Structure 1
Amino acid sequence: MYPTYGSSQKAIHWVVFLLVIGLYGLTYAEDLFPRGDPNRDLVWWFHISFGLLLFALVILRVGLRFVYGAPELPSEMRPLERWLAKIAHLLLYALLVAIPVLGILLTWFRGDALSFFGLFTIPSPFLPDRPTAGFIKELHELCANLILALAGLHAIAALWHHFVRKDDVLKRMLPRSSR
């Protein structure tokens, strides 16, 4: 086991972080334009495209985690702390998979095709279904709010480890720390 994450794992971690924040911001940008405005459609198109990118990176990140694992937690951590860290990471990964999957289903149940920056398009395999789309939208938004809260706790825990515990938990994911 390595003392720090690999450079590809770190890069994906921080890009995923930026994508989550950016996608959340795009949902508010969409509301700046009235329905039917082409700019609103453009914001939605960007949201879908970046959401698909997020999904691909999360799948890659999970694959890298299986291949390379994660650095050991500090031996000073109590069993409860270790368990909470593992549960928090599992929930983060689950939400990072669930949110794009729900977004894909939402798009399709609205009757729209998925477009990835115009490079390819996947038509909806479903007929439009407003009630189902509405339900999926609620789940998508709930999961998006949950990931912000959980990511905030994750960041607070990392900073607590760094500044209070003075261990290497945060350094394991910082770009300049090395194996």
Structure 2
Amino acid sequence: MTADTPSMPAAARPQGRYDTTTIVLHWLTAVLVVVMFALPQIWQQFERRTPPRLWLIDLHFSLGITLAGLLLVRILWRAALGGRLPQVGPGPARVASRIVHLAFYILLPAQVTLGVLLRWAQQQPLPYFGLFVIPDPFAMPLDARTVLGLLHEWNAWVIIVLSGGHAAAALLHHYVLRDGLLLRMTPKR
């Protein structure tokens, strides 16, 4: 893909590309996070206990279970790949990148965990696309709903704000710094 960018100075072209698996895992995670954040905004437009609202809630939880599996695969893939991932720029850019990625690796599993605990505190099993349900093995108390709900919502907002900053930084690198960073996370053509 770097050959398709003749206006980019040779020194600014991507140093190394991410492998296809890392790229796919990144974009699947991004899409799931955005969709899962949007679903509660949408279901709040429907009356409580109506079929559309219940369907959107079940979809949210099914996607949450999918995200949990995807995060596990990402963590295992990252551990297996180790230091072979391309590095991001020098000094401050590299430090900022590491901090942001570490934050994602903490916040996303925390979000899934909070969502599961919240569902169980609501005395509801976790549905997975109508295929099966995961019952509450702990008998979560009902009075935990409020705290878990607030933590789940606040954490979601932190993830979305951090994701927006992450996307803005990628666009800055691409359009202003023109260093080819964004191209490293796109599939080869």
Q: TM-score, normalised by structure 2?
A: 0.85
Aligned residues: 173
Q: Which residue of 2 aligns with 1:71?
A: 86
- Indicate if the aligned counterparts of 1:162 and 1:169 stay in contact, CA closer than 8 A: yes
Quote the Cα distance in structure 2 between the aligned partners of 1:4 and 1:97: 26
Which of 15, 18, 26 is 1:5 aligned to?
A: 18
Q: 1:15 aligns with which of 28, 35, 49?
A: 28
CA RMSD after TM alignment: 1.6
Residue number in structure 2 paired with 1:120: 132
Q: Is the 8 A contact 2:173 2:182 kept in 1?
A: yes
2:26 maps to a residue whose letter is H
Superposed CA deviations along residues 17-45 of structure 1, whole A, max 9, x for unmatched, are 11111111110121122122122211111
Residue aligning to 1:171: 183
CA distance in 1, matches of 2:41, 2:176: 35
Q: Distance in 2 between matches of 1:8 and 1:82?
A: 22
Given residue 87 of structure 1, which amino acid in structure 2 is its aligned partner? I
Larger-gyration structure (1/2): 2
Question: Following the alignment from structure 2 to structure 1, what is the Cα–Cα distance between the partners of residues 47 and 39?
Answer: 15
- Residue in structure 2 matching 1:96, options 70, 93, 108: 108
SS in 2 for 1:115: strand
Which residue of 2 is the match for residue 56 of structure 1?
69
Bigger drift between 117-126 and 18-27 goes to 117-126
* 1:23-62 map, 5 Å: 23-62=36-75
Paired with 1:144 and 1:60, the residues of 2 have a C-alpha distance of 21
TM-score, scaled to structure 1? 0.90
Q: Identity over the aligned pairs, expressed in percent?
A: 35
| Cα distance in 2 between the residues matched to 1:21 and 1:28 | 11
Gaps spanning 5+ residues in structure 1: where?
none
Contact kept? 1:103, 1:140, Cα under 8 Å: yes
Alpha-carbon deviation of 1:128? Answer: 5.1
Match status 1:137 vs 2:149: yes
Q: 1:175, CA displacement in angstroms?
A: 1.9
Distance 2:120 2:28 in 1: 26
Contact 1:106 1:133 in 2 (8 A): yes
